[in-house]
């Protein structure tokens, strides 16, 4: 999730959630709007039919809707009822990510964060009436400084990030998980009992869980490298996440370089793989072994397969990210999207009928990333 777009240009940088830079969409439409049937009404009020943007090979997309048009919109996640989304957005006068929600009356851009600092990685709580998200607002009035690009492409792990809880009706916002170091990338178990988040409170970037009140903190992972962007399985029995993939032939130097950057609150995300683990920290297993950057994983409704974003198939175009699917045991790799730029942040609706994701397809401006919903088949 924090948050949440990868390698390595940079009009689009959702820093905390590890978002790669967006690229310019070069794919052409499969057909003109007049050549394809209109999609039925969108499951999120206000979405426009976009069936003409379904690319050749995207056989799992029965219908497609566009929810935004312009700016950098990403990490959209469903509420438990499947009729609202919470997401992050920047663009125009908004210079760093802010949190927005849709409503059932058609408002697609209602900002709920207060405009201080940077925000990232929002998620609905089980009641559907409140959300959690990461914010640096307690420390930063304005956007935090960007990473020093002389060090190459890096993600900033701002120590000012804490996790907040907001009631949507009243707007009341209170700290949920705080402390020294980075706390962000919170998502909630479909079982409604635990939150998983990414934290540097142990000295490395690890997964932690807590209860819905931000108490009973438990460390999940404990290996050198970035472990983050986790989601629970629907059963609540597993976590899927991204992790640093070190070069085993040069491990000592790789670890040293990682730790050196971490002291500067930076990580280099060029090589990541998908893992699963039990919430108690047992049975850590590697799912992908593809090389390059594999991230933004999410379980299929039956918990037997995983959707994720990857550029492993991209030859020379490191910014060509698509959605792929894979069995939890690493078998049956399948390409899902065929956009020649960027598709990421997939999440199935609670009933499994729809998929929300972010894409550069048909962007009006370089770097625009918009929200789309596909009816799955």
> Can you give the CATH number for the domain in which 120 is found?
2.120.10.30
| Average pLDDT over every residue of 42-54 | 94
Cα 221 to Cα 227: distance, rounded to the nearest angstrom = 7
Cα 28 to Cα 187: distance, rounded to the nearest angstrom = 35
Bridge partner residues of 48 (DSSP): 66
- What's the pTM value of the predicted model, to 2 decimals? 0.92
* pLDDT tens digits for range 304-327: 999 999 999 998 766 799 999 999
Three-state DSSP at 139 gives coil
- Residue 359 domain flag: yes
Whether 188 has a pLDDT exceeding 80, the answer reads yes
- Residue 245 domain flag: yes
pLDDT of residue 152: 84
- Domains identified in the chain, total number: 1
Three-state DSSP at 355 gives strand
| 26 secondary structure, DSSP code | -
pLDDT of residue 318: 67
- Residue 107 domain flag: yes
pLDDT of residue 329: 98
- Residue 4 domain flag: no
For the four alpha carbons of 42, 310, 297 and 271, in that order, the dihedral sign comes to: negative
H or E stretch covering 259: helix 251-263
Whether 148 has a pLDDT exceeding 90, the answer reads no
At residue 35 the predicted structure's pLDDT band, cuts being 50, 70 and 90, is low
| Average pLDDT over every residue of 77-97 | 95
- Residue 350 domain flag: yes
Q: Which two tokens stand for residue 193?
A: 């009992």
Comparing CA positions, the residue from 130, 144, 33, 13 lying closest to residue 74 is 13
Domain that includes residue 275, residue range: 33-376
Comparing CA positions, the residue from 204, 210, 170, 167 lying closest to residue 188 is 210
- Residue 24 domain flag: no
- Residue 5 domain flag: no
Distances (CA, A) of 285 to 131, 221, 251, 347: 30, 12, 19, 22
Contacts of 58 (CB under 8 A, 6+ apart): 336, 337, 338, 374
Cα 114 to Cα 99: distance, rounded to the nearest angstrom = 9
- Residue 8 domain flag: no
């Amino acid at each position: 999730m924090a948050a949440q777009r990868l390698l390595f240009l940079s009009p689009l940088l959702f820093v905390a959630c590890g978002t790669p830079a967006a690229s310019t969409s070069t794919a052409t439409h499969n057909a003109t709007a007049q050549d394809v049937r209109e999609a039925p009404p969108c499951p999120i009020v206000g979405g426009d039919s976009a069936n003409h943007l379904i690319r050749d090979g995207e056989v799992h997309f029965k219908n497609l809707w566009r929810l935004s048009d312009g700016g950098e919109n990403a990490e959209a996640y469903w509420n438990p009822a499947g009729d609202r989304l919470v997401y992050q957005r920047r663009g125009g006068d908004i210079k760093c990510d802010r949190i927005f929600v849709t409503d059932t009356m058609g408002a697609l851009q209602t900002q709920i964060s207060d405009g201080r600092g940077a925000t990232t990685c929002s998620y609905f709580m089980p009641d559907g009436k409140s959300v959690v998200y990461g914010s640096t607002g307690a420390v930063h009035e304005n956007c935090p400084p960007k990473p020093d690009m002389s060090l190459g492409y890096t993600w900033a792990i701002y120590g000012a990030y804490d996790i907040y809880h907001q009631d949507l009706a009243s707007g009341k916002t209170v700290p949920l998980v705080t402390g020294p170091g980075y706390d962000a990338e919170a998502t909630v178990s479909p079982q409604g009992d635990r939150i998983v988040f990414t934290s540097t409170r142990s000295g490395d970037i690890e997964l932690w869980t807590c209860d819905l009140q931000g108490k009973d903190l438990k460390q999940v992972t404990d290996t050198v490298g970035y472990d983050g962007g986790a989601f629970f399985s629907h059963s609540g029995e597993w976590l899927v996440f991204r992790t640093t993939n070190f070069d085993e032939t040069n491990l000592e130097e790789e670890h040293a370089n990682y730790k050196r950057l971490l002291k500067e609150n930076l990580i280099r995300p060029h090589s990541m793989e998908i893992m699963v683990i039990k919430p108690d920290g047992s049975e850590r297993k590697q799912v992908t072994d593809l090389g390059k950057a594999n991230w933004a994983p999410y379980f299929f409704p039956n918990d037997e397969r995983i959707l994720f974003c990857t550029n492993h198939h991209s030859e020379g175009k490191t910014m060509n990210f698509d959605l792929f699917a894979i069995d939890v045991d690493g078998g049956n790799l399948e390409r899902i999207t065929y956009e020649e730029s960027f598709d990421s942040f997939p999440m199935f609706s609670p009933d499994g009928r729809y998929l929300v994701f972010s894409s550069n397809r048909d962007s009006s401006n370089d770097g625009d990333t918009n929200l789309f919903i596909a009816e799955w088949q």
